[in-house]
Amino acid sequence: MAEPFTTPESTTPESTAPESTAPESTVPEALAPELLAAGGDPEPSAPRRPLSTARLLLAALLVGPLLGASVGYAVQAGSPPTPLPVLAVPSPTYPAAPADPQAVAEAAVAPLKIDGDLRTLLVPRPQGTEDWDYDYVSGSGWFTVGEKAMSVGNSASYFRSMLQDGFRRDAVATWRKGDVKWRVELIQYHSDKAVAAQREAERHEVGALPLGGISGGVYQTDDTAQTYVDSTEQYYSGEALARRGDVVMRITVFSPAKVDRDELAGIAKQQWERLV
């Protein structure tokens, strides 16, 4: 019996095209969930900009001194040490025994006489004279600023002027020889107002004569008579002025006749010698 006709199985030829395989992921499995949650691959960063000129200059200013100091230190450290010269100062010496306080006191500079009681420096009253009871002096030997203001006209203005000029004190001595009246004053100003003392010593009329041997000292006498304020009596006056430090020496004379210039200059020199 004839075998039935059989159709050979249709065979499909194997495809030779390569299978498309997905590239293997290089991301670790532990980081995969984080990348998925973050939205995939991060965006690439922007390119870095170059430094500006100002920043470069600033960096040079900061780094330059450091480099210079480092190089200088290295050069100095590598140089051999320079020996210092021998000190020429002698060693201090001390006395063998303590100093005598009395000798030290005698060797010290003595304080100025005008720093003490000015009344002890007033010239003594000449022989043949008597006390003059000057109305404006209390008798204590001091001429207060109030008493001085009352002895002149325009007392209020004079009082203010004396205080502003730094008036400190005024030692005064008075006497009379017949009808001639003498007043000797040592007027002291505060030390920081010594310029006021200078102005007071220069307060004299034109034509005053210099006192020989006294720097800056002058004296003068009136050629015409004046009248007292509270009477019709006339008088002639004379005045001598000099200054030592902040003390002004003023000698005033009132006489019914012209003042003896030689006598005035002699009293002024005697008083000056007690100040130096």
Q: Is residue 263 part of a domain?
A: yes
More confident residue, 36 or 76: 76
177-205 per-position pLDDT tens digit: 999 999 999 999 998 887 888 888 887 77
Range 148-175 average pLDDT:
90
> What is the rounded average pLDDT for all residues in the chain?
80
More confident residue, 272 or 110: 272
The single-letter code of the amino acid at 184 is V
Q: Is a pLDDT exceeding 70 seen at residue 169? A: yes
Task: Say which CATH number the domain at 234 has.
Answer: 3.40.1000
pTM of the model: 0.59
Q: Is a pLDDT exceeding 90 seen at residue 263? A: yes
Q: Is residue 56 part of a domain?
A: no
State the pLDDT at residue 46. 60
User: Which domain covers residue 246, as residue numbers?
Assistant: 113-120+130-273
Q: How many domains does the chain have?
A: 1
Cα 74 to chain center, whole Å?
A: 46
CB 262 within 8 A of CB 240: no
Q: Is residue 160 part of a domain?
A: yes
CB 241 within 8 A of CB 204: yes
Q: Is residue 221 part of a domain?
A: yes
Q: Is a pLDDT exceeding 50 seen at residue 52? A: yes
CB 229 within 8 A of CB 210: no
CB contact set of 118 (below 8 Å; sequence gap of 6+): 169, 171, 186, 188, 247
Q: Is residue 91 part of a domain?
A: no
User: Which letter, b or e, does each residue of 136-145 get, where b requires 16 or more Cβ atoms within 10 Å of its Cβ?
Assistant: bbeeebebbe
Q: Is residue 89 part of a domain?
A: no
Q: Is residue 261 part of a domain?
A: yes
Range 230-244 average pLDDT:
90
Q: Is residue 175 part of a domain?
A: yes
